[in-house]
Amino acid sequence: MPSAHSSPPTRRQLLTRIGTLAGSAALYQAMTSLGHAQGTDFKGPPALGGAKKGTKVLVLGSGLSGMLSAYELRKAGYDVQILEFQSRSGGRNISLRGGDTVTELGGATQKVGFAPGNYINPGPWRIPYHHQGLLHYCREFGIQLEPFIELNHNSWLHSTGAFGGKAVRYREFASDFTGFTAELIAKAIDQHKLDDLVSEDERDHLRTAMKSWGGLAKDYTYKKGNTSSLRRGFARPQGGGIDGAPIPSDLFARDDVMKSGLWNWMAFHERLDMQTTMFQPVGGMDQIGKGFTRQVKDLITLNCKVTALHQDQKGVTVTYNDMANGGAVRQAQADYCVCTIPLSVLSQLDVQVSDAMKAAILAVPYASSVKMGMEFKRRFWEEDDQIYGGISFTDQQISQISYPSHGIFSKGPAVLLGGYMFGPAAYDFAGMTPKERLERALTQGTAIHPQYRKEFSNGVSFAWSRVPWTLGCCSMWTEEARKTHYKTLCSVDNRVVLAGEHASYIGCWQEGAILSALDAVTRLHKRALGAA
């Protein structure tokens, strides 16, 4: 760090100093009193520096955590080399485009048939505003971002068991759910049913709050009329000129609303992970992988299938098959190793770490998921349904249809996320042929968009459980495993440290990979300095 004796400490420097001196409890107090604990736990890029000259670090894997580890370690003065299993860098950060092929464990190969410029992101596809670590490196590496539309009041909510199986607009449902809930509380207050639960003073506030928030009429009821239609939409919309008067829309029945289960999707949008504002890279999520690759391209050797990771008091030895040369067995030596191989794969390799670390590696189950990229001849969701970005939800296996946030209003074919299967649905879909998956997604999507089959052009599915280099989509820590194994998993084990979304509290998100890498290299650096 540059000397700063001539200027007052920045807030970040201050926080770092407090943290160093007094531990995390003091840091937490300081952060909250400064009102600063807002994003993820990103505290700025690490200022490592001063590595012992000639110290070698081997990084296994060129996903975001591997490439970032290499980037920061090289900056600190280490000699870094990355071994990558695939013939590409970027890890789970992927965009599929026309001409790409997807080959699964089990043999099925799909050739992507999208029109030029179209893509689907089968892995990460959105970035929350609070993922400050990832956003920081996007800026640092010149990766351009654009808004990702998450919440769309005009998208569809669909449940096979609700509203006669007919999809309803988010706005219609949210308005009625909110209105009926508010009305119920207002009524209960008026009938003195809440006198035991809420003080008289607060009851007055609560009643006023319910009227405003719930869109209640002057008499504190939620009913058909302009007030409710100004939220849920009119039957005949507001117009211009002589016949411009709107006609209010009918409400749903309260019981239908409450038993529908569709409120789960209102809850969904309130999750920290799903809140506005969200972002996506311009041109596909893989622009991030490419941006990171630009920084460390010279360090990466592709097509290296690691089979063993050994270590002793002098260094680490990694054994791998050089797949670009007939699988020839080779070895790489280094002083230290940052291993970012997903635990689902790592648990099957010959890894020389402590028993506790071995147990930790085995303790983390991996989620499966399947995503479908489907290209349609035109943006019927925009042209017919006035849906611009956002997500429609269903209780069918496809679970959601996510409309592109880019290229809105453009003509020609466009790609949407036609299904995001997880849990049992993911296993079911992974067991099908790609053709069967498309057929199923078309059938289920038709329940929301009757135009689906007529407008469909082509599609691709990505079954993460059939991806040889991750065998699943991401880590799913149980609370129990977290308690027993997490700290061990993140510890420096002699000369080896693990990194990746699995070594974070932000599992399944790129931000987890970023923050894990920063923490891993910071502690590895300390370990190396200590050893020097």
Residues 330 and 320: their CA atoms lie apart, in Å, by: 5
Decide whether 121 or 516 has the Cβ nearer to its own copies.
516
Decide whether 96 or 514 has the Cβ nearer to its own copies.
514
Nearest CA to 132 out of 406, 520, 518, 521 is that of 518
Residue 116: CB minimum distance to its own copies, A: 20
Buried b (16+ CB within 10 A) or exposed e, 444-459: bbebbbebbeebbbbb
Nearest CA to 510 out of 486, 482, 474 is that of 474
Q: In 3-state terms, what secondary structure has residue 65?
A: helix
Residues 439 and 112: their CA atoms lie apart, in Å, by: 16
Q: In 3-state terms, what secondary structure has residue 348?
A: coil
Q: In 3-state terms, what secondary structure has residue 375?
A: strand
Decide whether 414 or 513 has the Cβ nearer to its own copies.
513
User: What are the DSSP calls for 24-51, one per residue?
Assistant: HHHHHHHHHHTT---SSS--SS-----P
Residue 334: CB minimum distance to its own copies, A: 21
Residue 87: CB minimum distance to its own copies, A: 28
Tell me the C-alpha to C-alpha distance, in Å, between residue 521 and each of 157, 247, 491, 515, 524: 44, 63, 11, 10, 5
Residue 422: CB minimum distance to its own copies, A: 18
Residue 230: CB minimum distance to its own copies, A: 5
Decide whether 213 or 433 has the Cβ nearer to its own copies.
213
Q: Quote the DSSP letter at residue 236.
A: B
Decide whether 110 or 152 has the Cβ nearer to its own copies.
152
Decide whether 339 or 503 has the Cβ nearer to its own copies.
503
| Residue showing tokens 């000397």 | 3
Angular region, 399: left φ>0, alpha ψ -120 to 50, beta rest: left
Residue 337: CB minimum distance to its own copies, A: 16
Residue 108: CB minimum distance to its own copies, A: 35
Asked if the peptide bond before residue 277 counts as cis, ω within 30 degrees of 0, the response is yes
Residues 335 and 531: their CA atoms lie apart, in Å, by: 11
Asked if residue 37 lies in contact with residue 24, where contact means CB atoms within 8 angstroms, the answer is no
Structure token digits, residue 15: 């926080």
Decide whether 323 or 356 has the Cβ nearer to its own copies.
356
Residue 360: CB minimum distance to its own copies, A: 12
Tell me the C-alpha to C-alpha distance, in Å, between residue 366 and each of 16, 376, 397: 34, 32, 19
Decide whether 403 or 429 has the Cβ nearer to its own copies.
403
Residues 185 and 367: their CA atoms lie apart, in Å, by: 40
Residue 103: CB minimum distance to its own copies, A: 31
Decide whether 139 or 453 has the Cβ nearer to its own copies.
139
Residue 38: CB minimum distance to its own copies, A: 5
Decide whether 388 or 427 has the Cβ nearer to its own copies.
388
| Amino acid residing at 255 | D
What are the two backbone dihedrals, phi and then psi, of residue 218, each rounded to the nearest 5 degrees?
A: -60, -30
